[in-house]
Each structure stands twice: as C-alpha cells, then as structure tokens.
Amino acid sequence: MEFIRQIERLQLLNKLVKERRTGSPEELAERLGIGRRQLYVYIEYLKDFGMDIQFSRKLDGFVYAEQHELKIEVRFELLDSKSRTEINGGESLNLYTPCYFYALTEDSLVI
C-alpha cells in the first residue's frame, strides 16, 4: 500500500502549500514523515503536473506562484473484459498487470 501512502502525502503537500502552512523544508519533510531529499522528489511530481511551486523566503515556506487547482484522487473500479481490452488497446495483459493505472486529461486518456 505504499502507492496509497504516496498519494496521501501528495494530497497533504498540496493542501499545505495551498494554505501556505508548509514551514521550512525540514519542517515540511518531518510533517510528511519523509526525508528532505524525498520532499524534493514530491515537489518535482507536482511540477510535472504543471504546478509552479516555489520557496518563499519572506513566508519561510513553499507557495504556488500561480493559483491553479490540483485535484488528487484515487478510485478503484472493477473492469469488465471489454473495458480492459479497450484500455490496453486490444491486448489482454491480465497475467502481467492485474491493476490498471490511468490518468484523465482534458483531451484524452493517458495510461
């Protein structure tokens, strides 16, 4: 369940940055239960999603440079064989990938 723990940390990180309650990198890493190095990995994840996150010396914490909304959610859903085939582009990978992870963008489905 490490994957779910990572999602929960990203949700908390997003919330704290949005509310401007992160504190120093050391304080934030401790609050998330990770090391400082791992904190910057999570920050890079947010940047990969287009979130412009920066450290403010004035506020002594991380802030979003632009007011974007990031919604992070996890959904588990049983898929029938037709849906699995559509997600896999016609291939059945049941033996290799019992779980399917995908992201919805505004334009398309990303697997």
Tens-place pLDDT, residues 18-41 = 999 999 999 999 999 999 999 999
Q: Which residue has the higher pLDDT, 18 or 1?
A: 18
CA pair distance 16, 83, nearest whole angstrom: 37
Q: Is 13 exposed, middle or buried (0-12, 13-18, 19+ CB in 10 A)?
A: buried
Q: Where in the chain is the domain with CATH 1.10.10.10?
A: 2-64
The residue among 50, 48, 49, 46 whose CA lies nearest residue 22 is: 46
Q: Summarize pLDDT for 96-109 with one digit per residue, the tens.
A: 555 555 555 555 44
- Expressed in angstroms, the distance from the first to the final Cα of the chain is 20
**What is the domain class of 2-64 according to CATH?**
mainly alpha
Helices marked H in the chain: 2-18, 25-32, 36-48, 81-87
